Amino acid sequence: MSPSENPFYTAFALILGMDQGLIDIVTLSLQVSLLAVLLASALALPLGAALALWRFPGRNALIVLLNALMGLPPVVAGLCVYLLLSRAGPLGQFGLLFTPTAMVIAQVILVFPIIAALTRQQVETLHNEYAEQLRSLGLKQLRMMPTLLWDARFGLLTVILAGFGRASAEVGAVMIVGGNIDGVTRVMTTSIVLETSKGNLPLALGLGIVLLSLVTLINALAHTVSETAKRRLG
């Protein structure tokens, strides 16, 4: 295997080369996925906690629905967002199709059920443990919510990382709503698809290794932060 055919060599050369095109692609990938996870978390953490604490008719159905949506195929989410944002669609006048914003919207839809469903599970477990104590303090559900979310924060970090994993790894949704436009909506995963379709397999795999390294780095960072925080708090 010659050096140019070795994906590890290619990945190494890509990282060392610091090619501007690659930097742009990596930056956009991170911007889109991190923003999607941030927005999804802002909505899904409170919703997940609320589902854990309140009892209302249809609650079980909602939980089942959220759990099921964790398996939503990215290409279906992409297609729905495409039809929504297309000029002929209900939100067409904003001209958002084939922009990074459209990609964020699609990824929020993919990440939201994962974070909401897993948060519900985490908070419910914690709530069951502390139910007596919290009730003896006379706390209402609304007051319990921030306390329980804060207490579950280390578990929730893993939940958020699972959401980030989903966002950074998916290709079906961003391909449809972003269009894989060079320099505008091309991200790591769509580049990998493109290079594969050109038959440039070493470069495709090299990009895959770069993406995986990046995701590993982010996970390591999150892990370090949470371990440090745990030690500080005893």
Partner 1 sequence: MKKTTTLATASLLTSGLVGLSWSASLLANDDFITLASTTSTENSGLFDAIIPTFTDATGIDVRVVAVGTGQAFEIARRGDADSLLVHDTAGEEQFVADGYASERLDVMYNDFVIVGPSDDPADISSSANVAEAFARIAESESPFASRGDDSGTNRAELRLWEDAEVTPQGEWYRELGSGMGPTLNTAAGMNAYTFTDRATWVAFENPQDLTLLFEGDDALFNQYGTLLLSEQRHPHLKHDLAAQWHQWLVSEEGQQAIADFTVNGQQLFFPNAQSSSNTQ
Considering only the stretches 44-52, 56-64, 98-106, 126-134, report the one whose residues sit in contact with partner 1 under the rule CB under 8 A.
98-106
Q: Which range touches partner 1 (CB under 8 A), out of 60-68, 96-104, 115-123, 134-142?
A: 96-104
- Sign of the alpha-carbon dihedral angle for 41, 216, 169, 28: positive
Token look-up 């979310």 returns: 149
Q: How far apart (Å, rounded) are the C-alpha atoms in residues 218 and 224?
A: 10
Using CB under 8 A as the binding rule, whether residue 34 contacts partner 1 is answered as: yes
How far apart, in whole angstroms, are the C-alpha atoms of residue 205 and residue 142?
A: 48
Q: Which of these ranges, 48-56, 65-73, 97-105, 128-136, lies near partner 1 under the rule CB under 8 A? A: 97-105
Check: CB of residue 211 under 8 Å from CB of residue 188: yes
C-beta of 11 vs 160, nearer to partner 1: 160
Q: Closest distance between partner 1 and the C-beta of residue 153, in Å?
A: 9
**Cβ 38 to partner 1 shortest distance, Å:** 5
Site string for partner 1, 38-57 (x = CB under 8 A): xx------------------
Query: Cα separation of 152 and 63, whole Å?
Result: 19
CA dist 108 and 177 (Å) reads 13
Q: Does 139 bind partner 1 (CB under 8 A)?
A: no
DSSP code per residue over 33-51 = HHHHHHHHHHHHHHHHHHH
Q: Which stretch binds partner 1 (CB under 8 A): 62-70, 94-102, 108-116, 121-129?
A: 94-102
| 61 vs 233, beta carbon nearer partner 1 | 233
CA distance 112 to 108: 6
Give backbone dihedrals phi and psi of 152, rounded to 5 degrees, phi first.
-90, 10
Place of tokens 């949470």: 226
Cβ proximity to partner 1: between 54 and 94 the closer is: 94
Report the largest interatomic distance among the alpha carbons of the chain, rounded to a whole angstrom.
Answer: 70
| Interface of this chain with partner 1, residues 170 to 199, rule: CB under 8 A | 179-182, 184, 194, 196-199
Nearer to partner 1, 56 or 150 (CB): 150
Scanning the structure block, which residue is given the tokens 């519900």? 120
* Binding segment (CB under 8 A) for partner 1, from list 56-64, 70-78, 84-92, 206-214: 84-92
By C-alpha distance, which of 100, 135, 89, 114 is closest to 27?
Answer: 100
Binding site for partner 1 (CB under 8 A): 31, 34-35, 38-39, 86-89, 92-93, 95, 97-100, 146, 150, 179-182, 184, 194, 196-201
